[in-house]
Amino acid sequence: MSSQDSETQALISEARAIGERLRELRAETSACIARRREIVEKLDERMGPSRIAEEIGLPVRQSVAQILSGGTSGASRSRKARVRVQFGLRDLLDSGHIANGERLVLHRRNGPLLEGFVNERGQIVINDNDVYDSPSRAAMAAMQSENPQDGWLRWRLSSTGRTLADVRAEALSQR
C-alpha cells in the first residue's frame, strides 16, 4: 500500500467519524430543542413572552413564538405564535436610540436608494404619507414587493449606516 493510499484511507475514515458525530449531535440538538419547547410552553402559562425572553436570554432575533412553533420563522398561526416584537421602533425612540425624524435608507441591489423616516409615534413614513408600524411592512411597501422582507435588517440609519437590528440589539443590551 502506498503512502497516498494510506492517507486516502485515513481521510475517508476521518470523514466517516465526523459524519457519525454530526448525526449524534443532530439527535442531541433535536432532543434539546424539544425539551426547551416544553419548558417555554410551561413558562408561557405563567409569564408573558417578553419576560420569558428576558429571563432565559433569547437572542434578539429569536422570539418565544419561534420556539413554541418549533421553527425559525415564527410562521405558525397559533395564538402563541402571534407574539409581537418585544422591543419595537417606539421603544427605540423612547429610549433615545433613534430620534424623531431620523432618516432611514434602504439599499436595493438593482434600483434606486429608498428613503423613509421615523415619526414621533415610532412609525416609518415613506412616500411622505404612507405610515407603517412594522419595519418589514415598510420595506415591502417601499420596494413594492410582495415577498417578505426583514425590515430590521433592510432599513439603515442614514446618519450612521447601522441597521435597525443593530440599533435594537444595542438598546436591548443596555436594558
pLDDT value at position 78?
38
User: Does residue 124 sit in helix, strand or coil?
Assistant: strand
pLDDT value at position 126?
94
The verdict on 93 and 167 lying in the same domain is: yes
User: How many angstroms separate the CA atoms of 61 and 152, rounded?
Assistant: 10
For residue 10, what are the contacts with CB-CB under 8 A and spacing of at least 6? none
The domain total for the chain is 2
Domain boundary among 31, 46, 81: 81
Q: pTM score, two decimals?
A: 0.52
Domain boundary among 55, 81, 107: 81
Return the closest-CA partner of residue 65 out of 38, 84, 90: 84
Give me the phi and psi of 125, to 5 degrees please: -110, 125
pLDDT value at position 105?
95
Please give the grid coordinates belonging to residue 173: 443590551
Where residue 72 falls (left for φ over 0; alpha for ψ -120 to 50; beta otherwise) is: alpha
Give me the phi and psi of 72, to 5 degrees please: -110, -10
The verdict on 67 and 105 lying in the same domain is: no
pLDDT value at position 27?
80
pLDDT value at position 52?
73
Q: DSSP string of 16-83?
A: HHHHHHHHHHHHHHHHHHHHHHHHHHHHHTTS-HHHHHHHHT--TT--HHHHHHTSSS----SGGG-P
Return the closest-CA partner of residue 83 out of 74, 96, 73, 94: 74
pLDDT value at position 137?
92
Domain hosting 50: range is 3-81
Tens-digit pLDDT string for the chain (175 aa): 566 688 999 999 999 998 888 888 888 887 787 787 788 777 777 776 667 777 777 654 455 556 655 554 433 333 333 334 477 898 899 889 999 999 999 988 888 889 999 999 999 999 888 999 999 999 999 998 888 888 999 999 999 999 999 999 888 887 6
**Which is it for strands 114-118 and 124-126: parallel, antiparallel or unpaired?**
antiparallel
The verdict on 147 and 93 lying in the same domain is: yes
